[in-house]
Amino acid sequence: MKEKLEALRQQALQELETLHTPKELEEFRIRVMGKKGPLTELLRGMGSLPAEERPQMGQLVNQLRAQLEEKLHEKEAAAQTALKEQKLKDEALDITLPGKAAKTGGLHPLNIVLEDMIDIFQSMGFDVVDGPEVETEHYCFEALNVPKDHPARDMQDTFYLGDDLLLRTQTSAAQIRVMEQRKPPIRIICPGRVFRADEVDATHSPVFHQVEGLVVDKGITMCDLKGVLEQFAHEIYGPDTKVKFRPSFFPFTEPSVEVDVSCSECGGKGCRVCKGSGWIEILGAGMVHPRVLRGCGIDPEVYSGFAFGIGLDRLTTTRYKISDIRLLFENDQRFLEQFD
Ligand code: PHE
């Protein structure tokens, strides 16, 4: 029996050396020290020993149990430490790695140009006002002296939302709202989105942007209009830019003009940006029609004014040589990131 005990000690200690994980150690405890294990079996077998040998044998078995317990504890503690170390290693952070730069948003090219425009007009004493995108026929057409049979009121051009409601086709609607609310002197710009039922292509979009301007005061003449718009063109496109006023027609201004600037890309020689003409059309303008003033309760015998509507999208595409207006509305990150 002593030999059996000795063999068990050897074998158990040897096996313990090869075990490392808490799971393996637990299994060992159950298998070797448990109720069905060889240690218990040895104790049971003591019944067949002569009575005088039993105490000594019992002592030896208990010694072995204690020895194995101690070794198991040792191994378990080592296993726990190893586990902790592994975890720390797995979760280790390399604080010397370079950081990832967080992406920050940037201004949309339309907003960059708009901010420049606002700066220029504010320095000339203009206020910035806002107007609704959903308008009534009155503000978008009637009060602007656009008669009922004018082609601009055709269903093809205007998005109607109901009998009287529509998406504004021009920021000129804001002129009326301002003149109804304020008394001259008035000096405002109103930037915003406008909508027209146009076919989409490289130069047309059903949504685009205008910046409306309006000045009303005593003694305002066409010279004031020319001065303000020339100043604007020089600040936006550079001091050598030539400005051309062409006669035109708008129902709400009389006389009316369209304004071209010499192409900033080729200096007027003709290129892809100006489609070979040397000029880029940037706005419509004119002296506010007396009928429009009168409709807003402003006496055209006392006051006069001028208005202009600048195409923000055209200004932006020519400044940045953007070949397709649709790029301004698609929000493609690869496009927008170039303007950060
Ligand atoms: N509203 C005109 C357009 O959309 C532009 C304009 C504005 C013309 C103000 C004259 C005065 O074409």
pLDDT digits (tens, 9 = 90+) for 192-250: 999 999 888 888 899 999 999 999 999 999 999 999 999 999 999 989 899 999 999 99
pLDDT tens track for 144-177: 999 888 876 776 688 999 888 999 999 999 999 9
Alpha-carbon torsion angle 264, 268, 273, 279, nearest 10: 100
Residue 98 C-beta-side C-alpha neighbours within 13 Å = 3
Of 31, 41, 39, 46, which Cα lies nearest the Cα of 63? Answer: 39
Quick check: CB of 309 below 6 Å from ligand 1?
yes
pLDDT in tens, 20-73: 888 888 888 888 888 888 888 887 888 888 888 888 888 888 888 888 889 889
Measured in Å, residue 21 CA sits from the centre of ligand 1 at: 82
pLDDT at 54: 84
Indicate which atom in ligand 1 lies nearest the CA of residue 285. 10
CA gap 205, 312 in Å, rounded: 13
Test site for ligand 1: of 144, 170, 178, 186, most ligand atoms within 8 A of the Cβ:
170
Q: Give the residue, out of 225, 245, 250, 256, with the most ligand 1 atoms within 8 A of its beta carbon, to mutate for a pocket test.
A: 250
What pLDDT, on a 0 to 100 scale, did the predictor assign at position 59? Answer: 87
Nearest to 310 by CA among 232, 204, 205: 232
For 327, counting Cβ atoms within 10 Å of its Cβ (0-12 exposed, 13-18 middle, 19+ buried), the class is middle
Written in H, E and C, the secondary structure of 116-158 is HHHHHHHHCCCEECCCCCEEEHHHHCHHHCCCCCCHHHCCCCC
In this predicted model, which residue has the larger pLDDT, 268 or 312? 312
DSSP state of 272: T
Is residue 307 within 6 Å of ligand 1 at its C-beta?
A: yes
Q: How far apart are CA 27 and CA 110, in angstroms?
A: 72
Contact by Cβ (8 Å): 189, 128: yes
What is the band of 93 on the pLDDT scale with cuts at 50, 70, 90? confident
Residue 152 is predicted with a pLDDT of: 65
The residue with tokens 């069905």 is 36
Q: Which two tokens stand for residue 169?
A: 């086709």
Among protein residues, the one with the nearest Cα to ligand 1's atom 12 is 284
The pLDDT score that the predictor gives to residue 151 is: 75
Is the CB of residue 172 below 6 angstroms from any atom belonging to ligand 1?
yes
**Does 111 score more than 70 pLDDT?**
yes
Give CA–CA dist 256/289, Å, rounded.
9
pLDDT at 38: 86
Is pLDDT above 90 for 258? yes
285 CA from centroid of ligand 1 (Å)? 6
Q: Residue type for 152, please?
A: A
Q: Does 286 contact ligand 1 (Cβ within 6 A)?
A: yes
Q: Give this prediction's pTM.
A: 0.72
Rounded mean pLDDT of the chain? 90
